[in-house]
Structure 1
């Protein structure tokens, strides 16, 4: 597996293909809601397996914190620990930007996954795109020189 920070249009298109398959086709999120005005201001991570893009996530700075968003892996590649690697990459990127807090909206079925990574629930269950979510946060350690 390899993980890269998206730096060109071809890589960004791969990000969009993965998200379209997972969120739009699999989970039924309307495409016009999946792709938003933050696409060009976020940092996107792309995960490859045997040179095929299979997972992604993005980091957006919101209210002085790292907002982890659009984290997904193609169905046939789940359960290999790649989500943990995506999150570690996004957290590391946040730390290089000097951010001390990470937050996200977790689908409730993934809540325990994020709890194992140190995230704590900060809200009651709420609905986004017809899918139950909770808000979660984690303190990030500062980078050591």
Structure 2
């Protein structure tokens, strides 16, 4: 059974950091500096559980006048079940409930298809290979 919990601020983010470390550092060989940053102090984080085990996370921040989704990750053994898509849907829904008319994400092109499934559209491509994606309004349907 899939369930979720929301966290705001830096308290109780240990599970988010553990999942980020497992995916970003251990699996993708990214710097440990990628696990946490100043945005964790005021972001909304969701943790996704599969039978009471924390298996995925993502966050919503408000920066430069935009609601931005980032740090989406699912443990490798739980991928292929649309859990990443569910996390994105939940974050868009959270943004809309707190007033967003648009939700953004900056991501590597290899994740573009995942965001397109939720209704995001590419708005620009950076020279570093990342694209800015935009979702107008809510996701529609159900997040569970």
TM-score of Structure 1 vs Structure 2, range by shorter chain: 0.7 to 0.9
1:90 aligns with 91
Unaligned runs of 5+ in 2: 139-144
* Offset of residue 100 of structure 1: 0.7
Aligned mates of 2:67, 2:137 — CA distance in 1: 10
Range that drifts further, 71-80 or 102-111? 102-111
Provide TM-score, normalisation by structure 1: 0.86
**What RMSD over aligned residues (CA atoms) do the two structures have, in Å?**
2.0
Aligned mates of 1:94, 1:72 — CA distance in 2: 18
SS in 2 for 1:29: coil
* Equivalent runs, 1:1-145 vs 2, <5 Å: 1-6=2-7, 9-10=11-12, 12-127=13-128, 132-141=129-138
| Number of residue pairs matched by the alignment | 138
Aligned mates of 2:40, 2:11 — CA distance in 1: 12
Runs (4+) of structure 1 exceeding 6 A deviation are: none
Q: Deviations over 1:83-134 (max 9, x none)?
A: 111111111111111111100012211111111211111222443xxxx421
